[in-house]
Amino acid sequence: MPTAHAAPEKTDYRAIYDHVVTSNAKYTDPGHSPGYNACWLESARIRAAGSPALDVGCGVGFAVELLRGPHFQVESWGVDVSPASVEIGNRRLGQAWLKAMEPGRIPHPDNHFGLVTCFDMLEHLDERDLGPIRDEMRRVLKPGGLLYCSIATRLAYGLDQHGDNLHRTVKPPDWWAGLFDADETRVMWRNQDLYLFWHKPMAK
């Protein structure tokens, strides 16, 4: 009789990133925010996408704060799997613009956001968890809305508290483009970062 194989254990992203944000000062420093840089890089496209906007994997909310500021003036919200990040971010912002999310589930309604961003978060997930979060980001995006992601295609410089590399899925740009059926990609070879764009089709 064949031996039954146990289902793979789910990764506790909440514990990992609560630990990361409370033990590494760079995660609370806007100078180390990949979302900050990515927003400036595509400022015209972000403004054109319209409100509201959602940053998935928002950390302590630097991209949300930037988009709400005078340069962009976009109603922006954030979600993150780390309650510690959300608490630190909302306390820093003085506003409850960030929400904690269950892994793989965005706590917002269908077809709600003109822009969904996800900056340097996807590579931190196991490969099996990427399809579900991709589908969630598409679900909350309005028809005609823009999904804009930045993705590191290299190993991280840091390890989690279990000794595992923080970048759990390291794949080449073409792999990510296929996973997201991207409309457009751009690669910054100097730091091996991929910028990926997908527009939700208009409803028929």
Mean pLDDT, each 10-residue run in order, the chain (204 residues)? 58 96 89 89 93 97 96 97 97 97 94 97 97 98 97 94 95 98 93 95 82
- Give me the pLDDT at residue 30, please: 85
Nearest to 19 by CA among 168, 158, 169: 158
How does pLDDT run across 23-32, given as a tens digit for each residue? 988 888 888 8
Q: Pairing between strand 193-199 and 141-152? A: antiparallel
- Give me the pLDDT at residue 2, please: 52
Q: What does pTM read for this prediction?
A: 0.94
User: Which superfamily is assigned to 13-199 in CATH?
Assistant: Vaccinia Virus protein VP39 (3.40.50.150)
